[in-house]
Amino acid sequence: MHTPSEAPLVGVIMGSQSDWATLRHAWDILEMLGVPAEKRIISAHRTPARLVDYATTARARGLRAIVAGAGGAAHLPGMVAAMTTLPVFGVPVESKALSGMDSLLSIVQMPGGVPVGTLAIGKAGAINAGLIAASVVALSRPDIEAKLISWRDRQTAEVAEEPVDEG
Ligand code: RP5
C-alpha cells in the first residue's frame, strides 16, 4: 500500500476510466516499490481545464515524475509535457479500432523540444512506465533504490536455466 502520510512523488494520470485496466499495472509497480503516488482521470479533450491545472501545479506540489496513459488520439502525455518540466512517461493504451497503433504514434511523435518518454503499448508499457518513474524517484531515495534492486534481483532469479514442456 502507498503510505497515505507521504506526499505523492509520482502522478499516474489517464484519459478515461477505461484506461485504468492498463494504467493499474504502473500503479501496482509503484505500490510494490513503496513509491508515494496519486492517480487521476484527466482527459485532454473532455477535461482540458483539469489538465492545465494538474500540469502547471504538479512540480510545485512535489511530484517528481508523471506517468500518463491514453488511447486513440492520445494527446494527454504531450499536453502535460508542454506544461511541466517534470519527466513525463507516456503509455499508449490499446485501442479497439487500431490496437493501440494510433495511441503509440500520437504519443511518440512529439516535436523536438517537448519530450515524452514513450513506452510500449498496453500492459508492458504501463509496467515499464512505473519502473522508470520509480527509478527517477530512487535517485534521491535510497530506500526506494534498494527496493528496485531487490525487484530486479527477484526477476533475474525467476528465470530458469532450462526450458520445460508446458501444458
Ligand atoms: C481516450 O479515449 C482515453 O484515453 C481512452 O483510451 C479512449 C476511450 O475513452 P472512453 O470512450 O472509454 O472514455 O481519450
Q: Does any ligand 1 atom lie closer than 6 A to the CB of residue 34? A: no
- Give the number of domains in the chain: 1
Query: Tens digits of per-residue pLDDT, 30-84?
Result: 999 999 999 999 999 999 999 999 999 999 999 999 999 999 999 999 999 999 9
pTM of the model: 0.96
The CATH number that applies at residue 111 is 3.40.50.1970
Ligand 1 atom, smallest distance to 69 CA = 4
Domain span at residue 141 reads: 10-148
Q: Which of 17, 18, 94 to mutate to test the pocket of ligand 1 (most atoms within 8 A of CB)?
A: 18
Residue with cell 500520437: 106
Q: What number of helices (H) and strands (E) belong to the chain?
A: 6, 5
Confirm whether 53 is domain-assigned.
yes
- ipTM, 2 dp: 0.96
Q: Length of the chain, please?
A: 167
Residue 164 lies in a domain: no
Q: Which residues contact 39 (CB under 8 A, 6 or more apart)?
A: 11, 12, 13, 14, 20, 23, 27
3-state secondary structure of 50: helix
- Encoded amino acid at 47, one letter: T
